[in-house]
Structure 1
Amino acid sequence: MGIVKAVCISKEKGTQKQDQKTAEFLEDWGIKGDAHAGKWHRQVSLLSYEKIEEFRKKGAEVAFGAFGENIVVEGYDFKNLPIGSRFQCNEVLLEMTQIGKECHHGCEIFQKMGDCIMPREGVFCIVLHGGIISAGDSFTLVEEE
């Protein structure tokens, strides 16, 4: 089981997300008010808290949301889970659709550090069932029956 450490959104694409502590997730859309929400396969992005902490130890001063991630979760190494993995958090049900993404090397973090973890560590999901997620909530990998 994992624990949600942050829930982040951005009003505009191309900007860092800000930790809202709580957000409403809309079925087949994403997070209410987030610029990346929509009817596509990357409605919500997840990033491991442990991977952010490793990056911080290299001297990076990055806040939650700096990589463009929507949810920071402690307890999972997302990139090692298969596409199709499902996660339950309260009434919200997410399904993983993509691992990693192409990085535009113009991102602030890459400019400062010469590296960015989102392209290899971040994963993307669609929202199968909506609801509210807040920092501190339990985040569970749903086992296939």
Structure 2
Amino acid sequence: MKGKVVAINISERKGVPKKTIVQGMFRTDHGLEGDAHAGNWHRQVSLLGIESIEKMKAIGIEGLCTGKFAENITTEGIALWQLPVGTKLKIGETIQEVTQIGKECHTKCAIFHQVGNCVMPTEGIFTKVLKDGIVKMGDEILVLEEEKVL
């Protein structure tokens, strides 16, 4: 299964839309350098498919773009929420492992208030970085088989 990176997004604070950057440095056991969600925990990097964003546009929500749902990596071509926890992904120079599918939304964050709904709780995923590297817009995303990771 293959996909591609549509955008890399970053923010200095949690709970706000992220701005798109051309490339980002992703560090092992940390995540995207300079991002508010980075750190040594299981949700270092968040990913959301452009297909999910397009679905929200199709129901009439205006002003949506990459980063609006606070995702670090906007993807295309992979049904992220169908990947099992533990799946390894080669994204650009990095290797990342899926650690969580979706999330519970305890409070309605700025994103929810701006767009009126959020797809991250059901269609976004989280990863931890296993191998450092740069990820750029347009990079390929490969779902790795276990033996290719070792």
Normalised by the size of structure 2, how large is the TM-score?
0.90
Aligned partner letter, 1:36: H
Displacement, 1:11? 0.8
> CA contact under 8 A between 1:105 and 1:111: conserved in structure 2?
no
Secondary structure (helix, strand or coil) at the match of 2:96 reads: strand
- How many residues in Structure 1 have an aligned counterpart in Structure 2? 145
Quickly say closer, same or farther: Cα 1:23–1:112, change in 2 above 3 A: closer
Question: Which residue of 2 is the match for residue 10 of structure 1?
Answer: 11
Displacement, 1:144? 2.2
The answer to whether structure 1 residue 34 and structure 2 residue 30 are counterparts is: no
The answer to whether structure 1 residue 89 and structure 2 residue 88 are counterparts is: no
Moved more, 73-82 or 105-114: 105-114
Q: Runs (4+) of structure 1 moved beyond 6 Å?
A: none
Question: Which residue of 2 is the match for residue 136 of structure 1?
Answer: 138
Instruction: Report the Cα distance in structure 1 between the residues aligned to 2:115 and 2:107, rounded to whole angstroms.
Output: 11
Q: Deviations over 1:22-53 (max 9, x none)?
A: 10001110000001100100000011111111
TM-align CA RMSD: 1.4
Instruction: Give 5+ residue unaligned stretches, structure 2.
Output: none
Aligned partner letter, 1:67: F
Normalised by the size of structure 1, how large is the TM-score?
0.93
> CA contact under 8 A between 2:8 and 2:136: conserved in structure 1?
yes
Q: Deviations over 1:37-76 (max 9, x none)?
A: 0010000001111111111111222121111100011011
**Aligned sequence identity (%):** 47
Question: Which residue of 1 is the match for residue 66 of structure 2?
Answer: 64
Instruction: Give 5+ residue unaligned stretches, structure 1.
Output: none
Secondary structure (helix, strand or coil) at the match of 2:146 reads: coil
> CA contact under 8 A between 1:24 and 1:31: conserved in structure 2?
yes
> CA contact under 8 A between 1:3 and 1:136: conserved in structure 2?
yes
